[in-house]
């Protein structure tokens, strides 16, 4: 070992951080490159990526910008490399919504876990001037589609990040990473599938949680409830809360255990709830009892108003349309509606204003997608969108954006041949993305590759009863899915179950061992809060999923 090398666990610092040089990135030029050591760094825990709170962290902070030779873009990549206790692994991280990456909040915990970690903005911040989730980056100044940036988010920025990260890893440590991983949820989960399809040798293992597959259909579907209410009436939020409770009360026992969690994916697809059954019910309605929260969607606060309310046929009709999902004027279903038993807070986010009126707060990603990607009209007043205009926007999404964003781009043969492993877990009460789309995609994989066992060689799916989007919900979330993926990749131990846990507001711990699809949890008796009271069963097997 040369005297200039410094030990980093079993690895050595071969080149001081300050002496790193810009990487070579095919198809792009590096515009700027800064590498500097950071010490005594601290950051709070970031639950979304299972990132622990970190204190006194030391790492080499690499920030670079690049421009593709065929585009007028400026893409930023951040790479954090531990100066102590590197575990020999590289972890690329994904984004969410219309953002390609999250940067510091995600990187901190993963570096604290010993990984080299990286994140990219994909150029979507327009040189750090806009929030990507506004969607304004999808159009150029002249109103034409910014095809370069859309390609960046679709998949190109993933590869740029991997290439540049592996280059500086080799420089700093004098060694390639032993294993490379992708970690993302929602848009980040879709990016994981895109990485597997387009760059099958970039990552040994991919953790893709709640992937936003079928993006051209799925994203507009999250705006359907907003259009329905704005063209009918806006019920108080308590109506949707009452309906969620009623749906769970009817569908939950069908899986064999009345535990507040819908555990069977077959029940998820087949439980038939009639909204008219609540018409005429009078109950105490609390309004203004929740406010937006970045980590749990909404959090409870003291109610601004409480009064008796009777559910009407109009309320029932609105709920029915949200549950069914978007339809054409001819009653053709365009995509799935809200998942059975999920929180209505995305599809029907009704708030009580200070002056006592009710307003719908639409999911910004769905609104941005329709406005900038599909209809390509920055001046469009989305508050006045009619059902026919929505239908047109949906059709534009499929027609114009399907060729780039559709599932036909997610062909996984190359990833299987490369020996890659892809692990997905999905909350069955996901409020943003109906898991039926994931089941439909999985069924397509089984048809392509010759059955469940063949797909399980490279892609595993676990469904989490009651869990929300990426995290949260009322059901247990996986405790260490990345660890399960690492064990599968590095030791050939494919997980049969994913241990999961949550704690209720009353402090009661609920555990489950999530089953590898197509198996489903079956109650065997005992304490319904304990994983030991359930087992994984083949009963029913995989069901056929409706074609849309």
Instruction: Output the 3-class SS for 430-442.
Output: CCCCCCHHHHHHH
Active site residue 487: no
Residue 399 confidence (pLDDT): 97
Residue 475 confidence (pLDDT): 96
Residue 541 confidence (pLDDT): 41
CA distance 325 to 221: 7
Residue 546 confidence (pLDDT): 57
Q: pLDDT category, 542, cuts 50, 70, 90?
A: very low
Given a cut of 90, whether residue 128 has pLDDT beyond it is yes
Given a cut of 70, whether residue 545 has pLDDT beyond it is no
Q: Which of 68, 469, 513, 533 is catalytic?
A: 469
Reduce the DSSP state of residue 298 to 3 states and report it. strand
For residue 245, give both structure tokens: 């409770």
Q: pLDDT category, 11, cuts 50, 70, 90?
A: confident
Mean pLDDT of the chain: 94
The mean pLDDT value for 475-489 works out to 97
Q: Which of 430, 452, 513, 533 is catalytic?
A: 430
The mean pLDDT value for 376-393 works out to 97
**Do residues 368 and 377 make contact, with C-beta atoms less than 8 angstroms apart?**
no
Instruction: For residue 265, give the nearest of 429, 147, 406, 413 by alpha carbon.
Output: 429
Given a cut of 60, whether residue 6 has pLDDT beyond it is no
Per-position b or e across 192-212, b if 16+ CB within 10 A of its CB = bbbbbbbbbebbbbbbbbbbb
Residue 295 confidence (pLDDT): 54
**Do residues 174 and 12 make contact, with C-beta atoms less than 8 angstroms apart?**
yes
The mean pLDDT value for 234-238 works out to 96
Q: pLDDT category, 9, cuts 50, 70, 90?
A: low
Q: What is the pLDDT of residues 42-75, one digit of tens each?
A: 998 888 778 888 899 999 999 999 999 989 999 9
Q: pLDDT category, 256, cuts 50, 70, 90?
A: confident
Given a cut of 50, whether residue 543 has pLDDT beyond it is no
Given a cut of 50, whether residue 293 has pLDDT beyond it is yes
Residue 50 confidence (pLDDT): 81
Given a cut of 80, whether residue 544 has pLDDT beyond it is no
Least confident segment among 66-75, 179-188, 532-541: 532-541
The mean pLDDT value for 147-163 works out to 98
Beta bridge partners of residue 327, listed in sequence order: 333
- Is residue 376 classed exposed, middle or buried when 0-12, 13-18 and 19+ CB atoms within 10 A define those classes? middle
Reduce the DSSP state of residue 297 to 3 states and report it. strand
Q: pLDDT category, 1, cuts 50, 70, 90?
A: very low
Q: pLDDT category, 539, cuts 50, 70, 90?
A: low
Q: How many CA atoms lie within 13 Å of 496's alpha carbon, on the beta-carbon side?
A: 5
The packing angle between helices 157-173 and 187-198, to 10°, is 80
HEC assignment per residue over 102-154:
CCHHHHHHHHHCCCEEEEECCCCCCCCCCCHHHCHHHECCCCCECHHHHHHHH
Least confident segment among 95-99, 102-106, 423-427: 102-106
CA distance 417 to 59: 35
Active site residue 186: yes
Active site residue 118: no
Output the DSSP codes for 421-465: EEEEEEETT-SSS-THHHHHHHHHHHHHHTSHHHHHTTEEEEEET
Residue 353 confidence (pLDDT): 85
Residue 290 confidence (pLDDT): 82
Q: Which of 180, 186, 264, 452 is catalytic?
A: 186
Q: pLDDT category, 289, cuts 50, 70, 90?
A: confident
Residue 529 confidence (pLDDT): 95
Output the DSSP codes for 271-295: ----GGGGTT-EEEEEES-EEEETT
Given a cut of 50, whether residue 91 has pLDDT beyond it is yes
Strand-pair category, 89-93 with 116-120? parallel
Residue 4 confidence (pLDDT): 38
Given a cut of 90, whether residue 37 has pLDDT beyond it is yes
For residue 317, give the H/E element and its range: helix 313-324
Q: What percent of the chain has pLDDT over 70?
A: 96
Residue 495 confidence (pLDDT): 98
Given a cut of 90, whether residue 165 has pLDDT beyond it is yes
**Do residues 31 and 20 make contact, with C-beta atoms less than 8 angstroms apart?**
no
The mean pLDDT value for 469-485 works out to 96
Q: What is the pLDDT of residues 325-381, one digit of tens each?
A: 999 999 999 999 999 999 999 999 999 888 889 999 999 999 999 999 999 999 999
Can you give the length of the chain in residues?
548
Catalogue the E-assigned strands of 275-386.
282-287, 290-293, 297-300, 305-310, 350-352, 358-360
CA distance 350 to 348: 6
């Amino acid at each position: 070992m040369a005297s200039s090398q410094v030990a980093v666990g079993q690895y050595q610092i071969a080149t001081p951080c300050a002496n790193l040089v810009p990487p070579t990135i095919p198809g792009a030029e590096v515009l700027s490159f800064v590498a500097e050591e950071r010490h005594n760094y601290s950051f709070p825990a970031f639950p979304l990526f299972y990132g622990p709170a970190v204190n006194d962290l030391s790492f080499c902070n690499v920030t670079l910008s690049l421009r593709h030779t065929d585009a007028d873009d400026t893409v930023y990549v951040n790479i954090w490399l531990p100066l102590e206790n590197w575990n020999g692994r590289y972890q690329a991280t994904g984004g969410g919504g219309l953002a390609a990456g999250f940067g510091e909040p995600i990187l901190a915990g993963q570096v604290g876990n010993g990984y080299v970690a990286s994140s990219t903005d994909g150029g979507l911040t327009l040189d750090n001037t806009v929030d990507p989730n506004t969607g304004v980056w999808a159009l150029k100044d002249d109103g034409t589609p910014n095809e370069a940036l859309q390609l960046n988010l679709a998949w190109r920025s993933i590869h740029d990040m991997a290439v540049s990260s592996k280059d500086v890893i080799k420089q700093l440590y004098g060694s390639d990473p032993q294993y490379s991983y992708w970690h993302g949820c929602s848009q980040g989960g879709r990016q994981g599938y895109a990485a597997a399809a387009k760059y099958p040798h970039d990552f040994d293992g991919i953790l893709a949680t709640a992937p936003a597959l079928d993006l051209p259909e799925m994203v507009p579907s999250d705006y359907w409830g907003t259009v329905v209410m704005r063209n009918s009436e806006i019920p108080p939020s308590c109506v949707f809360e009452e309906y969620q409770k009623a749906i769970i009360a009817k569908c939950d026992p069908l899986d064999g255990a009345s535990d507040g969690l819908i555990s069977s994916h077959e029940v998820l697809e087949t439980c038939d709830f009639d909204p008219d059954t609540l018409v005429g019910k009078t109950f105490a309605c609390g309004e203004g009892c929740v406010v937006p929260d970045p980590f749990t969607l909404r959090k409870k606060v003291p109610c601004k108003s409480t009064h008796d309310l009777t559910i009407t046929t109009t309320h029932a009709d609105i709920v029915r349309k949200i549950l069914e999902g978007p339809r054409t004027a001819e009653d053709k279903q365009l995509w799935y509606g809200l998942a059975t038993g999920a929180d209505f807070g995305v599809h029907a986010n009704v708030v009580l204003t200070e002056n006592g009126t009710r307003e719908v707060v639409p999911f910004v990603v769905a609104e941005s997608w329709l406005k900038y990607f599909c209809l390509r009209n920055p001046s469009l007043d989305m508050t006045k969108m009619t059902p026919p205009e929505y239908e047109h926007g949906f059709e534009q999404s499929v027609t114009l954006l399907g060729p780039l964003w559709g599932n036909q781009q997610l062909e996984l043969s190359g990833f299987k041949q490369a020996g890659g492993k892809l692990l997905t877990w999905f909350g069955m009460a996901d409020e943003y993305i109906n898991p039926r789309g994931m089941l439909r995609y999985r069924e397509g994989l089984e048809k392509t590759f010759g059955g469940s066992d063949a797909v399980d060689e490279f892609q595993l799916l676990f469904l989490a009863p009651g869990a929300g989007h990426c995290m949260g919900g009322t059901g247990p979330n996986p405790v260490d899915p990345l660890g399960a993926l690492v064990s599968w990749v590095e030791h050939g131990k494919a997980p049969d179950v994913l241990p999961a846990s949550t704690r209720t507001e009353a402090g009661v711990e609920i555990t489950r061992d999530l089953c590898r699809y197509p198996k489903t949890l079956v109650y065997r008796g005992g304490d319904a809060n304990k994983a030991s009271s359930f087992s994984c069963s083949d009963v029913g097997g995989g069901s056929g999923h409706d074609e849309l």
